Amino acid sequence: MLLKADPTDENPKDLQRWMGAGRLYFGVLGAGLLMVLAAALPGHMTTDSVIQLAEGRTGVQRSFNPAFMSWLLGKFDSVLSGTSLFVTFNVVLFFGSLAALPGLARRAHWLAVPALLAAIATPQVLIYQGIVWKDVFFANAAIAGTVLLALSVHSGAGRAGQLAAWGGGLALLVVAALVRQNGILALGAAALAMGLAAGSRRGWKAGLSATGTLLGAGLVAFIAMSLAMDRLMPPASPGAAGAGLRVIQHFDLVGVVARDPKTPLEPLQSEDPLAAATLRALAAQGYNPERVDAVSNAPGLGEALWQTREGVVARTWANLPTADVGDYAAHRLAVFRQIFLTPNILACLPVSTGVQGPELVLAELSLPARENRQDRELYNYASMFFGTPVLSHLPYALISLATMVLLLLRARPSDFVMAGLQAGALAFAGSFLVIALACDYRYLYFLDLAAITGLIHLALDPTGLGRRFWRSST
């Protein structure tokens, strides 16, 4: 997986330039890795991070976060107390993906060096990589898995190397899906991309087989690991497993009724008229498209919904898209606008440094809260990008879409797979149209990081980009 060049069509001076670019790329990458680790260690933590570390230590789930992240934190913590080892592993996982990208290039172009420097300077790399969030680990695992799959279809890898890369890519994409429920979309996109890569060389039957094999193996592994997590990390409360979906249902009901208090609420209206009346009376007071937490601003609203009989809220919520499609769509679009465009980025936790969390849990972990000089300097650095395209999902979505199109047009087998990374990131971001509960910037972090990875991939080897488009248009 090193830089390759064809001596038959390039002169020695060109080869020296390409090898020089490659060496400089790896030099910048190594320096960047050390700089990010220096900024990251021993890790930045928020309430979610602190609770998940506590879950990992005790082996019992206290939240409705996916169990795998807590379990993994616990394993690293058992080797070295705290999050330093996990953060190091996570940062190396992402930088390892960037180190593997030249293996997909026919040669290294000098454009890759400024692209890499710019990427490392973004808050998404310099600071986010040190935050102990499942969103960051999910993004790193999904990117690393897809890069390995791209290497598995690259003509420069031997049979054993291709099989190893395919197996490693599958494992990492399954891990990504275990860390974020809607992360399964990255696995699905990768499977379709692998089908395109195989089909481009061996026909549509081979393409279908490649897609089915990866998707089937991934789903089997995902289900098996999910069942194993239920045993390894049992929930403290039997109802915790479905709590996340229930919160989405409450948020949607409040959002729709806030727009139209007369919206149909069957079967809630028939089976619990008091809860329905409370919802109609308090929805406007307890609704803010920025985050579901606003429900608590209307005392009694949350309690009324949680105390309904099992299944009543779920059936009422399932009827919303047909009972009041206009208000449901308006609510969901308003919520998605907050998370995708972040019009008030300060309300959307654009970055977090130091260690914060519930005092009791911090005491249980013997982990003091932290906000030192370096933490403040990192936050101040990130704040320079608030309200700019650098810390805004829309530009990255456009970059991701353009990258995907260019790769599909160039149509190398590995290009199809790397285009699948962009498709997976865009699909993942789009899924928040129906599941978003808050506008926190980290939720769409995968989109930003996939776009950054795609740009570096293109910069490493821009040859042939758009060639088919220009030929077909002339």
Boundary (domain end) residue, out of 341, 364, 398: 341
C-alpha distances in Å from residue 377, one per residue of 348, 372, 431:
20, 9, 34
Q: What is the pLDDT, as a whole number, of residue 12?
A: 53
What amino acid is encoded at 362 in this protein? Answer: L
Please say which residue of 341, 362, 388 terminates a domain: 341
- In degrees and rounded to multiples of 5, residue 45 shows phi and psi of -135, 145
Give CA separation, 365 vs 45, 50, 79, 302, in Å: 13, 8, 15, 31
The C-alpha atoms of residue 406 and residue 102 are separated, in whole angstroms, by 18
Q: What is the pLDDT along the chain (474 residues), one digit of tens a residue?
A: 333 434 334 555 554 555 678 889 999 999 999 999 999 999 999 999 999 999 999 998 888 888 999 999 999 999 999 999 999 999 999 999 999 999 998 778 889 999 999 999 999 999 999 999 999 999 999 999 999 999 999 866 677 888 999 999 999 999 999 999 899 999 999 999 999 999 988 888 889 999 999 999 999 999 999 999 989 988 876 666 567 888 999 999 999 999 999 999 999 999 999 999 999 999 999 999 999 988 888 899 989 999 998 889 999 999 988 888 999 999 999 999 999 999 999 999 999 999 999 999 999 999 999 999 999 999 999 999 999 999 999 999 999 999 999 999 999 999 999 999 999 999 999 999 999 999 999 999 999 999 999 999 999 999 877 555 444 443
Same domain, 172 and 249: no
Cβ neighbors of 223 (< 8 A, separation 6 or more) are none
Token duo for residue 381: 């650095």
- What b/e sequence results for 43-65 when a residue is b if at least 16 CB atoms lie within 10 Å of its CB, and e otherwise? bbbbebbbbbbbbbbeeebbbbb
Residues 220, 148 share a domain: yes
DSSP state of 183: G
In this structure, the answer to whether residues 178 and 253 fall within a common structural domain is: no
Same domain for 400 and 455, yes or no, is: yes
φ, ψ dihedrals at 233, nearest 5°: -130, 70
Q: SS3 sequence, 201-233?
A: HHCHHHHHHHHHHHHHHHHHHHHHHHHHHHHHC
Query: Does residue 258 form part of some domain?
Result: yes
For residue 156, which amino acid is it?
G
The answer on 245 and 188 residing in a single domain is no
Here the tokens at position 133 are: 């969030």
Per-residue pLDDT at 469: 45
* Contact between 304 and 274 (Cβ < 8 Å): yes
My answer on whether 230 and 273 are in the same domain is no
Residue 346 lies in a domain: no
* Residue 201 located in a structural domain: yes
**Which of 294, 326, 341 is at the close of a domain?**
341
Q: Do 118 and 154 share a domain, yes or no?
A: yes
Q: Are residues 402 and 258 in the same domain?
A: no
One domain for residues 172 and 25:
yes
187, 261: one domain = no
What is the pLDDT, as a whole number, of residue 420?
97
**pLDDT at residue 458, rounded to an integer:** 96
The count of residues in the chain is: 474
Task: Evaluate the omega torsion of the peptide bond into residue 267 and state whether it is cis, within 30 degrees of 0.
Answer: yes
Asked if residue 146 lies in contact with residue 190, where contact means CB atoms within 8 angstroms, the answer is yes
Domain assignment of residue 367, yes or no: no
315 domain-assigned: yes
Let me know if residue 417 belongs to a domain: yes
Question: 0.85 cut: is pTM over it?
Answer: yes
Contact call for residues 90 and 449 (beta carbons, < 8 A): no
Helix (H, G, I), strand (E, B) or coil at 370: strand
Domain count, the chain: 2
Q: What is the model's pLDDT at position 242?
A: 67
Query: Quick check: is 276 in a domain?
Result: yes
Same domain, 17 and 130: yes
Domain span holding position 317 = 239-341
In a domain, 272, yes or no: yes
Q: Are residues 57 and 104 in the same domain?
A: yes
Please check whether residue 411 is in contact with residue 262, taking contact to mean a CB–CB distance below 8 angstroms: no
- CA-derived radius of gyration, the chain: 24
Look at residue 464 in the predicted model and tell me its pLDDT. Answer: 77
